Amino acid sequence: MESQLPPMISGGLPVLGHVVEMLRDRESLFKRGHAEKGDLFAMKLGPQPVLVITGAEYNRIFYMETDKTLNMQDGYGFLREAIGRVLFTASTEDYYNQRPVLQEVFKRERMVGYVQAMNTEIQRWLDSLGQAGEMDITQAMLRLTQYVAGRALIGPDYEQELGADFWKDYSAISASLDPVLPPTLPLPKFWRRDQAKKKITATLKPLIQARRDHPERYNDLISTLLTTPLKDGTTLPDDTIVTIFMGLIFAGHETTAGQAAWLIALLLQHPDYQKLVREEIKQTVAYGQPIDAAVLSKLEYIYWAIDETTRIRPSADTQLRTVTSPVKIGEYEIPSGWRLMVSGATSHFMPDVYSNPEQFDPLRYSPERGEGKNPFSIIGFGGGVHKCTGMNFAKNEMAVITSLLFQQFDMELISKDIHVVTGNGANHPSEVRVRYKRKPLTELTDAATIREAAAAGCPHIRQHMTPQ
Ligand code: HEM
């Protein structure tokens, strides 16, 4: 007997199918499809049939079948044009050949240096804020995560080495991302993308050469990419180093910035939970001391808040695969050529997995309640072999931002209607405007430490001593 295809949701337009609704508001489209047809439903994006899946059982198939009956690179063709053919946008064979490099960049020992870089840049940002004022956290996080990425991946001289235009050029590439239009159309945004790529390549090539000429002077991302052997025993050519570098910045920048901004917004919107976080910081994070792995390992309330933010406001709310040979999902056999999508908008709100799923309730992850234990019930960092390699980097960065910001500042949320802005790369919140005030030093540490630090010329102690 021929197996049936999954049910099609209503509302498709002739020729375009559901593409307009998808571009306008994919969260509502996924929720509507789920309400109408259940955990497996089909839609059409132009001529392309797509299966949208919900729930741990089907999400697991999506991740575990990747690189077998499903491929990752075709769905992300629009990313490939922006960053190049590398890692998950490369062929499966090239991906597995390059994978040892990814594992080397994110191995546990390197996290120590990354966390130090986070401390330095986040404290530098806090020191620049003055005594009181207003700011948009969404914009602030976009800049802060750039500084952290620069210092963590390139080292202390990153500003000088990357130059003034690097992030402008990166933004031109990011703004060119377009999952619908052919990426080679003669449009201004694609022209700007190509110019920016040329400039970035011209910036990075001399940095690669410097590390090739003087390996003893460097221990950063580029030197790691230069020296780590691939699976086939060769090392990466310069052009691929440029693309991997850009690939990591793309995978990690807007995703982390959006998630960090939502985290702060949600904590400000939930004063009761914020109180728990502030108390945890007071008990665990000593003012003026760097946050290291030992401190991070004690921050339960903050990491639960990070997980809850990933659940209800995921930066990466959907991911894509292409069926390369027929695959059985539930009672349906999905033919080659179909696209598959996982959906945070539905999977993250299953009432049988999460109690009161619409509520921001980080305590659901406490050992007493232990909700959401199945790793495939949440898709915010992906799953399986391609699960986000930068996840710990991102979570630790958000933990250091939250710890130092809430330790040193009182904040009040001004923005009333904060909503999700859906991006082609990653989602982020609309403006998160806050009024902030630096805490008096006496609230942060004792008088003897203040005297000692001031005598030693500690720069961030000086910030707090500026007259109000
Ligand atoms: C909150 C921040 C982040 C989120 C929400 C996020 C989300 C994701 C997701 C959903 C995937 C899987 C994509 C798929 O299966 O289609 C992924 C993969 C990846 N992410 Fe992240 N990411 C974040 C931060 C980072 C950072 C900071 C880095 C690096 C500095 C990074 C590097 C990567 C890489 C290299 C992959 C591909 C892994 C592979 O194919 O094996 N990510 N990320």
Alpha carbon distances (Å) from 218 to 156, 193, 207, 208, 393: 11, 30, 10, 11, 21
Report the separation in Å between the CA atom of 464 and the middle of ligand 1, taken as the mean of its atom positions: 37
Q: What stretches of 365-446 show up as alpha helix (H) in DSSP?
A: 391-408, 441-444
Domain map (residue ranges) of the chain: 54-465
Spatial separation of the C-alpha atoms in residues 364 and 300, rounded to whole Å: 12
pLDDT tier at 425 (50, 70, 90 boundaries)?
confident
**pLDDT of residue 343 exceeding 70:** yes
Structure-token pair, residue 258: 């959006």
pLDDT tier at 177 (50, 70, 90 boundaries)?
confident
Q: Is the CB of 88 within 6 Å of ligand 1?
A: yes
Q: Is the CB of 137 within 6 Å of ligand 1?
A: no
Spatial separation of the C-alpha atoms in residues 131 and 386, rounded to whole Å: 44
> Under a CB-based contact definition with an 8 Å cutoff, are residues 33 and 43 in contact?
yes
Which pLDDT score is estimated for 88? 85
Of the candidates 250, 139, 157, the one whose C-alpha atom is nearest the C-alpha of residue 196 is 250
108-127 and 391-408 helices, crossing angle to 10°: 30
pLDDT-above-70 percentage for the chain:
97
Which pLDDT score is estimated for 467? 45
151: left (phi > 0), else alpha (psi -120 to 50), else beta?
Answer: alpha
Which pLDDT score is estimated for 468? 41
The residue whose CA is least distant from atom 36 of ligand 1 is: 388
Structure-token pair, residue 226: 């230069």
Report the separation in Å between the CA atom of 272 and the middle of ligand 1, taken as the mean of its atom positions: 31
> Under a CB-based contact definition with an 8 Å cutoff, are residues 211 and 238 in contact?
no
User: Strand 132-136 vs strand 433-438: parallel, antiparallel, or unpaired?
Assistant: antiparallel
- Strand blocks (E) in 208-300: none
**pLDDT of residue 80 exceeding 70:** yes
Spatial separation of the C-alpha atoms in residues 184 and 182, rounded to whole Å: 6
**pLDDT of residue 417 exceeding 50:** yes
Q: Tokens 């090539």, residue?
A: 205
Q: Is the CB of 98 within 6 Å of ligand 1?
A: no
The residue whose CA is least distant from atom 38 of ligand 1 is: 386
Task: Please tell me the least confidently modeled range out of 218-227, 257-266, 430-439.
Answer: 218-227
- pLDDT tens digit string along 267-318? 999 999 999 999 999 999 999 899 999 999 999 999 999 999 999 999 999 9
Q: Tokens 């910030």, residue?
A: 463
**pLDDT of residue 118 exceeding 90:** yes
Q: Is the CB of 258 within 6 Å of ligand 1?
A: no
The fold adopted by the segment(s) 54-465 is Cytochrome p450 (1.10.630)
Query: Which atom of ligand 1 lies at the shortest distance from residue 393's CA?
Result: 27
- pLDDT tens digit string along 41-60? 999 999 999 999 999 999 99
- pLDDT tens digit string along 378-411? 999 999 999 999 999 999 999 999 999 999 999 9
Of the candidates 235, 236, 238, the one whose C-alpha atom is nearest the C-alpha of residue 203 is 238
The residue whose CA is least distant from atom 40 of ligand 1 is: 386
> Under a CB-based contact definition with an 8 Å cutoff, are residues 346 and 34 in contact?
yes
Of the candidates 349, 434, 417, the one whose C-alpha atom is nearest the C-alpha of residue 35 is 349
> Under a CB-based contact definition with an 8 Å cutoff, are residues 136 and 432 in contact?
yes
The residue whose CA is least distant from atom 1 of ligand 1 is: 256
Q: Is the CB of 71 within 6 Å of ligand 1?
A: no
> Under a CB-based contact definition with an 8 Å cutoff, are residues 94 and 73 in contact?
no
Of the candidates 58, 460, 390, the one whose C-alpha atom is nearest the C-alpha of residue 250 is 390
